[in-house]
Structure 1
Amino acid sequence: MIRLCVAILALLSLLWIAPNPVHAEHPDRSMAQQGPLRLLCWEAGPHADHQLILQGLAEGLKELGLIQTSPVPEPVDNSTAPLWQWLAKNARGRVVFLEDGFYSAGWNENLRNKVRESIATRGKVLRDFDLVLAFDTWTAVDASVMDPDFPVLVSSVTAFANTELAKSLGKGTGNKVCVVHEQDRLYRLATLFHSLFGFERLGVVWDNGKNGRDMAGLNELDRAARDQNFTLVSCAESLWGEKPDVLEKHLLACNRKLAKEGVDAVFLTLAPEPASHLDAANALSPLTKAGIPTFSLAGGRELKAGALLGTGKRMQLALGRYLARIVADIIGGIRLPKDLVHVSPLVLSLNMQSALVLGWDPPLKVLAITDEYVDMDGEWRENGLLP
């Protein structure tokens, strides 16, 4: 009983975060939305985070009285499209999810420019939408290049401060592109990971393309390494936009390299979800066989495939609810700044099978902030102690 009470107190202290003010600008009533706010969705490709953010957004809009729907369904796979289509058919009120308003490049570099140009043309010619909800760093970069005359609200970027994306938005776009970024998210997670395992050498795999460092959040990981006095060991490969078999081959090669170089732990910043047919367990196998603890930024499939720790889904649901408040402000006539900072509650997911293999007994401070876990039978379970 004492252990349970301590766990609950620890949970409350870790989960409570002061409300994030959206921004202090006074609304311009002349800019207030007169009719329904019509939304488009734009993503580089499917990702579990996008679904959860969209789910949190819809639930937040319901709580604010801006839409009416039956209970929002839980995501069932890695595709954002089914939930968007469900909202287009079922949500009614001040916010409209356009049925023909879902755009995804499927993580295909060849389709990336085509999708961007389609949205740009629709905005200039048809003008039949009011706001673009965009997900991930790819779309944030593309939106900044587009320099649109319609508002674009971007979330699910790996990192923002001191990145090329932040610099490009500072050069223009007239406050039309707003990036909602989570303050020090990777720094906080890497610091927590280090407090649990005290590693001296942390491995990280990142894409060697133009925006690879930003997409892996290396600036924040570098800062965590300096502050916590560990060494960052990296492996750069061609990853984003590759076919599933090539992506798996490159991830496997990097993980073998990191294991051979004697890293003590690995921070997984690139999720295998862009390739729906990727064998995540095989890609992680060199680390699993070497008994190296892993932290997955994406959670989900990587946790099920053997990663030890990952982010909990409540982090993304909270971000979605924050976006709902921003949408409410837009309806009220507040213009978007170029970026907004959000601080998510620190919530984890845990693979109990991997913990057993590593001989690691999760401490109380981990159990207190774990919202879901993979049990000894390999099935996802909710942590019933969380409120």
Structure 2
Amino acid sequence: MAVANFRKKLIIAVLAAALISVAVIIFTAIFPSFCAVDNCTDNNLSPVKKNDNSVWNIAVVQGGHHQTYSELLKSFSAGIAEYGWIEGYLTEDTVNLTGTYDVLDYITEECRSDYLNFREEHRFSSEWNKTLRSENLKALKSKSEAGEIDLVIALGTWAGTDCKSLSADIPVIVMGSVNPADTGIAPDFAGDSSGNIYTLYDPDFYYDQFRLYHYFFRFETIGIAYDNSTPESRSYSHIDDLRRFSDDYGVEIVEYYTVDDHPDIEISRRSVYDAYEYLAPLTDAVIITTQNGVSSINAEEFLKPIKKHRVPSFAIDDPELVRYGVLMSFAEPDYDNLGKRYAEAFSRILNGCNVSDISTEYRRDSSIIINLKTAEEIGFEVPPGLVKASDTLYTG
């Protein structure tokens, strides 16, 4: 369905650009990041050694490489450096580091700490391989049960899910899990940590995104492509948030199941293309979700049927996709704030706070990213007020 249909619904907004600008500012200001009051009375963030005067051994676990993980780890490292846990950490030195292990190598080789060890034997990356994942979990359990590990940093949903099986005596900080409630990492998420697992999560972030997209486009049907085969793959789609939005706003959802977890990446990519080829002629808008078959490498290809049918597309997790042709995203990661919050929790845990006593309430800021070339290609005239309120505009 052509975007021309949306123009009629947006004509008031187009004529009243100033009002749109005000509306955007209001919407993006409604959900500011904040740190809620929690039950731990010890607010000491200063570095301390263990009771026997030895240093803390920190393990880092990830399902595989992902840019989000390295960015979060860099921001977290800057935070613990600010509190004195490591010395010599310079943010400008890590700007071009793209891998988690690159960041850890920098910390161990270029920085100094009298309090922390990030040993190489305490790093576990499964490289998105199920067999290696099982082996790593076995090794992690063995080392933690032997008393070699004092705290685990789990990067992503795979790692967070696996670390649930560790002893309750080992605190785990989960970063970069897109939906810890749906995957059971934090099953009772309500602003409090679950047992020994600490993670920050904004339970309304994706619901609020859908509301924002609907505010500007007033779509009646929306398409979503995702892998429905496991709770983990399903969590990346945020389908439960979309269904809640659908119920509240009367929007019809059209779903298509893709193949995300396949050893041949080309099969995953083909399933994504097939999905949008199916969805584009049936919907007023489509959501681009996180999955192996979606990346900047094949964005031009899977966007072809979407653009052909002049349908607006929204990247709900990866704003970088807007650079490569997706129309819009409100999902710019707030790495600096997240890293500092995780550094605070880390510091308080090692100073004696129980994980379950530290608040996990968090509200993500929204940024507006628009691809003006895509807007032109699908025939959507971006209201001037929306352009003015945008944080990033791509024109080529």
Higher deviation after alignment, 282-291 or 355-364: 355-364
Following superposition, the deviation at residue 40 of structure 1 comes to 2.2
Structure 2 SS opposite 1:40: strand
- Asked if the contact 2:303/2:325 (under 8 Å) is kept, the reply is yes
How has the CA–CA distance of structure 1 residues 257 and 369 changed in structure 2, closer, same or farther, with 3 Å as cutoff?
same
Q: How many correspondences in the alignment?
A: 367
| Alignment match, 1:82 | 102
Q: Say if 1:282 and 1:352 are closer, same or farther in 2 by CA, change over 3 A.
A: same
Instruction: Give 1:154's aligned residue.
Output: 174
Paired AA for residue 259 in structure 2: S
1:281 to 300, 307, 313: 300
Per-residue CA deviation, residues 129-152 of structure 1 (Å, 9 max, x unaligned), is 322111222222222244554111
- 2:116 aligned with 1:101, yes or no? no
**What is the deviation of 1:95?**
4.4
Separation in 2, partners of 1:245, 1:160: 28
Q: Gapped runs of 5+ residues in structure 2?
A: 1-16
Structure 2: which amino acid aligns with 1:62?
A
Matched position secondary structure for 1:67: coil
Q: What residue number does 1:328 align with?
A: 347
CA contact (8 A) 2:182 2:235 kept: no
Query: Are 2:28 and 2:366, in contact at CA under 8 Å, matched by a contact in 1?
Result: no
Deviation at 1:334, TM superposition (A): 0.7
Aligned to 2:35: 20
Provide, for residues 207-239 of structure 1, a one-character-per-residue CA deviation record: whole Å limited to 9, x for no partner. Answer: 122213323221111111112221121112321
Shift of 1:246: 1.4
Alpha-carbon RMSD: 3.6
Q: Is the 8 A contact 2:327 2:370 kept in 1?
A: yes
CA distance in 1, matches of 2:126, 2:189: 22
CA contact (8 A) 1:54 1:320 kept: yes
Partner Cα distance (2:380, 2:296) in 1: 30
Instruction: Name the residue aligned to 1:351.
Output: 371
Aligned position for 2:223? 203
Q: Distance in 2 between matches of 1:56 and 1:15?
A: 25
Report which of the two structures shows the higher radius of gyration computed on alpha carbons. Answer: 2
Cα deviation 1:241-300 (Å, max 9, x = unaligned): 54211111111111112114x111111222448x88952322332223322211113325
**Larger relative contact order (C-alpha < 8 A, sep ≥ 6)?**
2
- Once residues 258 and 271 of structure 1 are traced to their aligned partners in structure 2, the CA distance between those partners, rounded to angstroms, is 17
Partner of 1:55: 74
Query: What's 1:124 paired with?
Result: 145
Alignment of 1:1-387 (within 5 A): 10=25, 14=29, 17=32, 19-21=34-36, 23-27=38-42, 33-34=49-50, 35-68=54-87, 69-73=89-93, 76=96, 79-93=99-113, 94-125=115-146, 127-147=147-167, 149-161=169-181, 164-167=184-187, 175-211=195-231, 212-260=233-281, 262-272=282-292, 278-337=297-356, 340-363=360-383, 366-367=386-387, 370-373=390-393, 375-377=394-396
Letter in 2 for 1:331: L
Following TM superposition, by how much is the alpha carbon of 1:10 offset from its aligned partner in structure 2, in angstroms? Answer: 3.2
Q: CA–CA distance in 1 between the matches of 2:161 and 2:340?
A: 24
8 A contact 1:38–1:129 mirrored in 2:
yes
Q: Percent identity?
A: 19
8 Å Cα contact 1:43/1:104 also seen in 2: yes
Bigger fraction of residues in strand: 1
Structure 2 letter corresponding to 1:110: T
**What SS does structure 1 have at the residue aligned with 2:144?**
helix
Q: Secondary structure at the match of 2:61?
A: strand
Which residue identity does 1:208 align to in structure 2?
N
Which stretch shows the higher mean deviation, 141-150 or 184-193? 141-150
Q: Distance in 2 between matches of 1:39 and 1:311?
A: 34
- Residues 172 and 196, structure 2, Cα contact 8 Å, conserved in 1: yes
Q: Distance in 1 between matches of 2:230 and 2:56?
A: 35
Deviation string for 1:177-216 (max 9, x for gaps)?
2232222111111111111211111111121222133232
| CA displacement at 1:85 relative to structure 2 | 2.2
Aligned residue in 2 for 1:380 = none
Q: What is the rounded CA distance, in whole Å, between the counterparts of 1:99 and 1:184 in structure 2?
A: 37
Contact 2:276–2:306 (CA under 8 A) maintained in structure 1 = yes
Query: Is contact 1:42-1:133 (8 Å) kept?
Result: yes
Deviations 1:332-382 (A, max 9, x none): 211112982321111233323223323334446655664444x334xxxxx
On the 8 A contact 1:313/1:371 being kept in 2, the answer is no
Flag the 1:77–1:227 CA change in 2: closer, same or farther, 3 A: farther
- The secondary structure found in structure 1 opposite 2:229 is coil
What is the rounded CA distance, in whole Å, between the counterparts of 1:207 and 1:57 in structure 2? 31
CA distance in 2, matches of 1:205, 1:78: 28
In the alignment, which residue of structure 1 is the partner of 2:7?
none
In 2 relative to 1, CA 196–304 (structure 1 residues): closer, same or farther, beyond 3 Å?
Answer: same
TM, length-normalised to structure 2? 0.79
Partners of 1:137 and 1:341 lie apart in 2 by 19
Please tell me the residue identity of whatever aligns with 1:21.
Answer: A
Counterparts of 2:252 and 2:165 in 1: how far apart (Å)?
A: 35
Taking the aligned partners of 2:391 and 2:142, their CA distance within structure 1 comes to 42
